[in-house]
Structure 1
Amino acid sequence: MRSDEFSNEHVPSITKEALEELTYQKYGDSPTIKSYTKWKLFEENSPLRLPTEAKAGEVRIKANVLLSGSGTKFDLPKGVELSEGTLGLSQPEESRILGFHFYVLKRAYRLRITEDLVEPLVIVSHLSEKVFISHHINIEAENVKVPIIIYDMTEEGVKSFVIELKARKAELELLTVGKHKSLSHYLLRASLGGGTRVKAFTIISGGKMSHHREDYSLEGKGSELVLRGMPIGIGSAVDYLTNVLQYGERTVGETRVHGFAYQNGWTVHRGVAKVFEGARGSSSEVSSHVITMDKGSLGVSVPMLEVDTGDIEAASHSSSVSQFDEDALFYLRARGLTRKEALSLFVHGIGEALSDHLEKLRSKARSSVRGLTEGLL
């Protein structure tokens, strides 16, 4: 199915005048809202300065949904229905970067999953020209078991990719692979209804500046999220934000992130977990650890846990920024490995451990970890 079969009548819009009034984010004293993304780079390469159309580039990934440049192709399996519009979980007035996203966005697509999927639903977002492009996908899942793989790739220019997800009584396995060279903005915003279980693994190879944000709202009773993340800044910059908001009773939120910074790289993880008053009997964890693997690299770890109810099953948070264990490196090099091989083995091992909680996507997760770490270190 071609993208030109749809119109943009169901896409939120914003005028240039309204866009000019927006800021990228609200500033304050808390480190969780301090600016770690180099927004100046996005301003210098905004859609007010760059073209907003691009040809589809070469993508060597077999995808069910392929968004490349301004082109879109669909090859959907049985049990996935396609329509247009957004789910309303994100709006252009929220920030200047989302303002840019909707200012440029031509079409948004909705995928409604009505049957269990054995094979992963593969979504690819890709850009290989110096332009500003927006891609937007919405996913609805109810009473189904679904594995999903999302590839977010930016080689040139600036790409904004937004995914809105609504799930109820569903089991989802979600693998997100971000691989960037230039500027990228990514937002996953998910609403999890009662009985929904999500296992997610995210690995990000930062580009010139990668702003990657995942927001999960656990709204229904008994909804669960297990999130594992691995941001990697190797001669690049990645600002990784995770926000888990627990509203429903007996919800479970578990976030564990291990980041790496190398070769003057810049890796930041900011993780928020908030348990609201109505989330009685819930448990929440946010764990954030960043390793700087050489001098000159920057690592930032900022987890924050807030609990508004006295009826809590468990709540914990931890944080660390440390240097790579040179004794471990010496041990590996003494056995014939080069420094590059030893570092790759170390990062690869962490990635394998983080991806173990996936089931249907386990082999895909491991191959993605290998591809990123072996190609970068």
Structure 2
Amino acid sequence: MPGGSKAHSDGGWDAREKGFIPVQTRDARFRSYAAAEFPAVTGHEVNWKLTPVGRIGDLIDGELSGAPYELDAPTTTGIDVSWVDRSDARVGVVGTPEDKAAANAWGSFDKALVITVSGEDEQELVLGRSAFGAAPRAAHTIIEAKPFSNAVIVLDNSGAASLVENVEIVIGDSARLTVVTVQDFDDDARYVATHFGRVGRDARFKHVVVSLGGSVVRVNPAITLAEPGADGELLGVYFSDAGQHLEQQVFLFHEAANTKGRVNYKGALQGEGARTVWIGDVLIGANASATDSYEQNRNLVLTDGTRADSIPNLEIETGDILGAGHASATGRFDDEQLFYLRSRGISESEARRLVVRGFLAEIVQKIGFAPLEERLNSAIEAELAASVGIAGSTLGRQVDGAQR
């Protein structure tokens, strides 16, 4: 049924033919470009049940401005940035919305921002986007990496925002592309985004989600390894403060044979009401023989009053794979690590900062773009410096973990 799941009925049935969609069948969800074809969002749907829908209701089904916005796009050899009409043939090449918010944005934008990478020598582009404004808005971005091209693209989001965005990413054969989306919005900003990606033959794609600022931030990557030899690395780092909701629902689809996928997200939480949600769906399709896939999520709780939801899911439709697995853990400081540092003359507060920095550094160091890595390390330091309860004596050892 559109927008959700339906309970199993007695007797045999085929999910695709009869419209029943078990929760675990990730690729059978309803999809449409038209928001009107989705039922009203109540917060009970499988892909909305952990989201504060009351705080973003106007973005899900309200009226959105689709006008182009100002951006800072420095001229870069081998990378073209331009606005195109929604009738452009590149719109809709990758992905179809599977929730009402994405469909609402799809039907509301006037022009799409297209970033085309064509140079074979590695290029870097940091696209500054700080002029969205506080009014509800829709946006559509297309990133196309031509075959054999090589680039790092950073979508640097900041300032005020009430934005719903769809991002389509096409990685041509043998291309090397890194896309980093940074959410460093104002404290009251709201941002809901879906990133659709298609990775071609022997191409390598790195997708990085960095969420630091904003009231509600929901970034959902849906990446398909569509051709043999495709390699996808999906990374994320996030730091949630009091009252802040940071969410990621990740979907990695091994569609073709001989593909490799790695998903690794890490987050920290501090302050009353800090909330994070991570859902990782990996699907190894029936034709994806010799697949190598692994996903994991780790959350570090710094104070009481926080909540981290972490749900890894793995669906395998073929028995011919190299390996597949997933892991999830949410915990507090490790007393043994703290004892080791303090026994060497390091103060408790500094020891706790070192533990957090080391915990998140694994992801930051994998971005592969030094200026951004330095900036993120500074931002993490600022978050820790502003912490009130990080040295609280109630923080103990890991409280929950799962390895499958």
- With the length of structure 2 as denominator, give the TM-score of the two structures: 0.75
Listed as ranges, the gaps of 5+ residues in structure 2 are 1-31, 385-404
Question: 1:170-191 deviations in whole A, cap 9, x for unaligned?
Answer: 0113333221322111222110
1:364 shift after superposition? 2.8
Bigger relative CO (Cα 8 Å, ≥ 6 apart): 1
Match of 2:259 among 244, 251, 254: 251
Match of 1:276 among 285, 301, 312: 285
Check if 1:151 corresponds to 2:156. yes
Contact 2:337 2:355 in 1 (8 A): no
In structure 2, C-alpha distance between the alignment counterparts of 1:183 and 1:97, rounded to whole Å: 13
Contact 1:352 1:369 in 2 (8 A): no
1:97–1:291 distance in 2 versus 1, CA, 3 Å: same
1:4 alignment counterpart: none
In structure 1, C-alpha distance between the alignment counterparts of 2:105 and 2:312, rounded to whole Å: 27
In structure 2, C-alpha distance between the alignment counterparts of 1:128 and 1:82, rounded to whole Å: 18
In structure 1, C-alpha distance between the alignment counterparts of 2:56 and 2:339, rounded to whole Å: 41
1:176–1:190 distance in 2 versus 1, CA, 3 Å: same
In structure 1, C-alpha distance between the alignment counterparts of 2:255 and 2:70, rounded to whole Å: 38
Contact 1:24 1:97 in 2 (8 A): no
Contact 1:101 1:160 in 2 (8 A): yes
Letter in 2 for 1:36: L
In structure 1, C-alpha distance between the alignment counterparts of 2:129 and 2:165, rounded to whole Å: 7
Check if 1:134 corresponds to 2:141. no
1:288 alignment counterpart: 297
Check if 1:176 corresponds to 2:175. no
Check if 1:352 corresponds to 2:361. yes
In structure 2, C-alpha distance between the alignment counterparts of 1:329 and 1:121, rounded to whole Å: 40
1:136 shift after superposition? 2.0
Contact 2:209 2:219 in 1 (8 A): no
1:161 alignment counterpart: 165
1:189–1:368 distance in 2 versus 1, CA, 3 Å: farther
1:304 alignment counterpart: 313
Match of 2:106 among 102, 106, 114: 102
Letter in 2 for 1:291: L
SS at 1:270's partner residue? Answer: strand
1:219 alignment counterpart: 226
SS at 1:370's partner residue? Answer: helix
1:263–1:82 distance in 2 versus 1, CA, 3 Å: closer
Question: Which entry has the higher C-alpha Rg, 1 or 2?
Answer: 2
In structure 2, C-alpha distance between the alignment counterparts of 1:293 and 1:247, rounded to whole Å: 39
1:227 shift after superposition? 2.1
The within-5 A match list for 1:328-343 is 328-329=337-338, 335=345, 337=347, 339=349, 341-343=350-352
Match of 2:196 among 189, 193, 196: 189
Letter in 2 for 1:145: N
Q: CA RMSD in A?
A: 2.9
Listed as ranges, the gaps of 5+ residues in structure 1 are 1-11, 55-66
1:343–1:156 distance in 2 versus 1, CA, 3 Å: farther
1:75 shift after superposition? 3.6
1:206–1:213 distance in 2 versus 1, CA, 3 Å: farther
1:233 shift after superposition? 1.0
1:53 shift after superposition? 8.2
In structure 2, C-alpha distance between the alignment counterparts of 1:110 and 1:128, rounded to whole Å: 17
- With the length of structure 1 as denominator, give the TM-score of the two structures: 0.80
Match of 2:333 among 307, 324, 339: 324
1:337 shift after superposition? 4.2
Check if 1:260 corresponds to 2:268. yes
